[in-house]
Structure 1
Amino acid sequence: MIDLKSKVRGCFLGVAIGDAIGKAVEIWTHEQIKEKFGLITDYQDCKNNKYFPDDVKGTTTDDWQLTKAIIKSIIKEGNLDVDEVARQHVEEYKKTFNGWGNSTKEAIASLIEGKHWKESACSSSPNRGLGNGVAMKISPVGVLIGVKYFLSLNENNSFPYDKEEILNKVIDICGMTHYTNIALSSAFCQTTACMACLSYLPEVFNKQYFLKLMIKISTTIENSNLFHKTEDMLSNRFNLIEFDMTTEKIIESFGKGSCYVYDSLPFSYAFFLNNPLSIESLYNCVSAGGDTDTNGSMVGALLGALNGEQIFPEHLLNGLVNKEEVLTLADQFYEKLTNGVEIFVEPKS
C-alpha cells in the first residue's frame, strides 16, 4: 500500500530530478560521459552545457519549467483548461525561453503576438513538431487522470471522472506547439504511462501490459488524421523494445536518444522497462547520452509515479535546488484535486 500523495510527489520530483541530473551532459555521447564520469549517479557541474554554463549543479531546465506550467494551470482551474495552460506557457516564456525547442519557442512567441492556441503551431519552417517537447511536460495530465480515477472509487466523491474529456484536451495542448501525429502519439503515450504508473503498486506493475498499451495507443494515433502525418512511427520503435536490452543496444536501436521524439521516447521507455523499480534506470538513461535532461525527466516521472517519492535517494532530493518548489506544487496539486482526502493505492482485487 502506498500513499497516493507520495506518488504525485514522486512523479513531479522525478521530472525535476531527472531533468537536473541529465542537465550537465545534455547532447553528450555515451562515450564522452563514460570517459568523464563513468555512471552518472549525482548532479554535475553545468559548465559544459551550452544553454546553461553558469548554472549551479542541481538546477533544472525547460523540462521542469514547462511541466510546472501545466501543474500551475491545473492547480488554478482544478482541471485541465487549455486557455490557462497557454497562459502559463506565456508566463514562463517571459521569464526565460533558454533551452526551449524551436517548435515550442516559436509557438509561444506566436501566442504573445496574438495568435490563438489553435493556430500557434502553424509554421512554414521544416521539421517543426517532431521533438519531445510535449511528452516531456505532459506528466501532470496523467497524474490528474489517475487522481480523478481514485476519487471516482469513493462513494462520496463529488468530482467527475472525465477521462475522455481530459484526453481530448491533450490534443489541444499538443496542437498548441506541435502539430504532428508523432508528437500527439508521444503525448498520449506519456500521459497514459504516468496514469498507469500512478494507478499500480510497484510489485504488480506489468511491463508486458505497459508496452502493449504504448504500441496500441501510438498505432491508433498514427492511423488518425488529427494532425500532420509523418513517415516515422513510434509504434515501430516500441515494437523493438525488449526487457533486457543493454545500454549499447538501446543506444543503437533508438537514435542515441536524440531530441527527436521518434528516438527519445522509446529510448526512455527501454531504460525504464529494464528495471522500473530501481533508480538505476535513471542513472543508466542519463549516462547513455543524447537528450539527457529530457530523457531523464521522462524516466524520472515514471519511476516516481510508480514507486512514490521514496525511490529517490537522499542525495538527489537534498541536492535538488528547487526541491521545495516542486514539493509545494505537488502538495497544492493534490490538495486542489482531493480536498486533502487521504488515498492509498492498494492491491487490485
Structure 2
Amino acid sequence: MPLWSRAQQQDFRSRVRGCLLGGAIGDALGAGIEFESLESIRAAHGPAGVTGYVPAYGRAGSVTDDTQMTLFTLDGLIRAHVQRDGGSWHPPTDVHHAYLRWAATQYDWGPDERKGDLGWLGRQEWLYAQRAPGQACLSGLTGPDAERPGTLEAPRNPESKGCGTVMRAAPFGLLTAWEPGLVFQLAVECSVLTHGHPTGYLSAGAFAVIVHTVARGGTLEEGVHLALATLSDHPGHEETTTALRKALDAVRAGEPSAERVEELGQGWVAEEALAIGVYCALVAHDVKSGLLLAVNHSGDSDSTGVVCGSLLGALHGETALPPELLAELEGRGTMLELADDFVLELLHGPELRGPAWSERYPVK
C-alpha cells in the first residue's frame, strides 16, 4: 500500500463508511415493501410511494439478510488481509468462512451458543435474526457439504442467478489498491460459493468494478463502462451486459420514474437488481431521491436499494447520507466500527498485530 496523505485517508474512510451505511439505508427502506406491488405501495403510502422507513421485523430502520451478508463479506476481507501477513493468502477461503459464520446466525439463538472463531462481528447479538434469507445462500452454506467451498469449476447452485450474489458484493470494490480485474475476479470467486450461474456471478463482478471505480474517485458512468468492457472477456456475459445497457438507455429515455424502473425488471435475479440499482444511482439528484426511486417498485426492493445505496455512498461519502435515515438505522454502530476496522487494516495492518486485533479478527 503506497503512503497516503491524511486527506486521502479521510476520503477513503468516508467512502467506505458511505458505501456500507448507504447500502444498509437502501436495504432498510425496501425491507417493509419487498414483496409488494407498485400499485399496493402507492395505495398504502400515496402516489410517491414510501418516503421513509416502513416498519419491518418489529421496528423502523430494520435491515435484512442483504446487509447481514455484506457485513460478513467485509469481515472476511479483513481476516484475509490478516492472514496475508502470516504467509497465507486466499481471500475466497476467508470469505467462505465468514459466510459460514453468517449462516450460523440464521439458526443459532445467539453467540453464547457457539464456539470457534466468532471474532468481534460474530458476537454481535443483533445479527442473530432471520430476515428473509435467500434460499441459494442458505443451501450453499449449510448441510453436510457446507465446508466445501464452491469454485468456478464446481460452483454451488449452478442454475441460480438470484440477486443474493450482487447484494453482498460491494465490499470487494472497496479494495481500491487492487486493479479492477482482480476485484472483478474476487467477487466472482466469492459469488460461486452460493450461486453458480454465470449471470449471477458476473453481475456481482460487474457491481464490484463499479463500486471500485467510484471509490477511487471516478464517475458512475466510468464504472459502468469499465464493467461492460470487463464483462466482454467472460463467457456467459450476455444477460448482464444487456441489463447494464438497458440501464444506460433508461437514463437517456427521459424523466426518472417508477414505471421506468419496472421496465428494467423486478430485481429478484442478479442482472435486474444490478441494472435497477445502477439506473437509480445514475439519475439520482441526491442520495435520498436515488434510494427512494430504487425501492418503490414491484419486486426485490431491499436488494435494489442496497445496490443503489452502496454506489451513492461510495461515490459521495458518508456526509451525503440522509441524517434522518441514519439516525434510525439498525446496527449503525456496528457498521461504523466494522468500516473503520477495514480502513485500519488496509492502511495500517502491520501496526495492528497483537492480541487485541487477533481476538477481533482471529484466523485459522
Q: Distance in 2 between matches of 1:207 and 1:76?
A: 29
Would you say 1:217 and 2:230 are equivalent positions?
yes
Amino acid at match of 1:314: P
**Aligned residue for 1:272?**
281
Would you say 1:168 and 2:185 are equivalent positions?
yes
**Aligned residue for 1:193?**
210
Pick aligned residue for 1:115 from 148, 169, 174: 148
**Aligned residue for 2:23?**
15
Amino acid at match of 1:247: S
Q: Distance in 2 between matches of 1:117 and 1:281?
A: 35
Q: How does 1:1-349 map to 2 (within 5 A)?
A: 3-38=11-46, 39=48, 40-46=50-56, 54-78=57-81, 81-96=91-106, 98-110=131-143, 113-118=146-151, 121-123=155-157, 128-144=159-175, 146=176, 148=177, 161=178, 164-200=181-217, 206-221=219-234, 224=235, 229=236, 233-240=239-246, 241=248, 242-243=250-251, 244-255=254-265, 257-275=266-284, 277-339=286-348
Q: Distance in 2 between matches of 1:9 and 1:217?
A: 26
Q: Distance in 1 between matches of 2:298 and 2:260?
A: 11
RMSD: 2.6
Q: Distance in 2 between matches of 1:11 and 1:5?
A: 10
Q: Answer yes or no: is the 8 Å Cα contact 2:287–2:322 preserved in 1.
A: no
The residue matched to 2:16 in structure 1 has which SS? helix
Q: Mark the CA change 1:248 to 1:327 in structure 2 (over 3 Å): closer, same or farther.
A: closer
Q: Taking every aligned residue pair, what percent have the same amino acid on both sides?
A: 23
- String of CA shifts for 1:19-40, please: whole Å, max 9, x gaps: 1111000021222212212332
Q: Mark the CA change 1:252 to 1:95 in structure 2 (over 3 Å): closer, same or farther.
A: closer
Amino acid at match of 1:175: V
Give 1:284 shift. 1.3
Amino acid at match of 1:179: G
Q: Distance in 2 between matches of 1:163 and 1:260?
A: 24
- String of CA shifts for 1:65-96, please: whole Å, max 9, x gaps: 11111111122232771111111111111111
Q: Distance in 2 between matches of 1:314 and 1:111?
A: 45
Q: Distance in 2 between matches of 1:303 and 1:263?
A: 18
Q: Answer yes or no: is the 8 Å Cα contact 1:28–1:289 preserved in 2.
A: yes
Q: Distance in 2 between matches of 1:215 and 1:111?
A: 38
Q: Answer yes or no: is the 8 Å Cα contact 1:58–1:321 preserved in 2.
A: yes
Q: Distance in 1 between matches of 2:168 and 2:283?
A: 23
The residue matched to 1:288 in structure 2 has which SS? coil
Give 1:171 shift. 2.8
Q: Answer yes or no: is the 8 Å Cα contact 1:73–1:81 preserved in 2.
A: yes
Amino acid at match of 2:296: S
Unaligned runs of 5+ residues in structure 1 are 47-53, 149-160, 341-349
Amino acid at match of 1:169: L
- In the superposition, the TM-score normalised over structure 2's length comes to 0.76
Unaligned runs of 5+ residues in structure 2 are 1-6, 85-89, 107-129, 350-364
Q: Distance in 2 between matches of 1:245 and 1:233?
A: 25
Size of the aligned set, in residue pairs, is 305
Q: Answer yes or no: is the 8 Å Cα contact 1:107–1:121 preserved in 2.
A: no
Q: Distance in 1 between matches of 2:260 and 2:233?
A: 25
Q: Distance in 1 between matches of 2:189 and 2:143?
A: 16
The residue matched to 1:171 in structure 2 has which SS? helix
Give 1:207 shift. 4.8
**Aligned residue for 1:155?**
none
Q: Distance in 2 between matches of 1:42 and 1:323?
A: 17
Which region of structure 1 is more displaced relative to structure 2, 113-122 or 275-284? 113-122
Q: Distance in 1 between matches of 2:189 and 2:284?
A: 33
Q: Distance in 1 between matches of 2:264 and 2:288?
A: 21
Q: Answer yes or no: is the 8 Å Cα contact 1:132–1:259 preserved in 2.
A: yes
Q: Distance in 1 between matches of 2:179 and 2:277?
A: 29
- String of CA shifts for 1:153-184, please: whole Å, max 9, x gaps: xxxxxxxx465555433332121111121112
Q: Answer yes or no: is the 8 Å Cα contact 1:101–1:133 preserved in 2.
A: yes
- String of CA shifts for 1:72-124, please: whole Å, max 9, x gaps: 11222327711111111111111115412222111111476443433874448
Q: Distance in 2 between matches of 1:165 and 1:262?
A: 20
The residue matched to 1:233 in structure 2 has which SS? helix
Higher relative contact order by CA 8 Å / sep ≥ 6: 1 or 2? 1
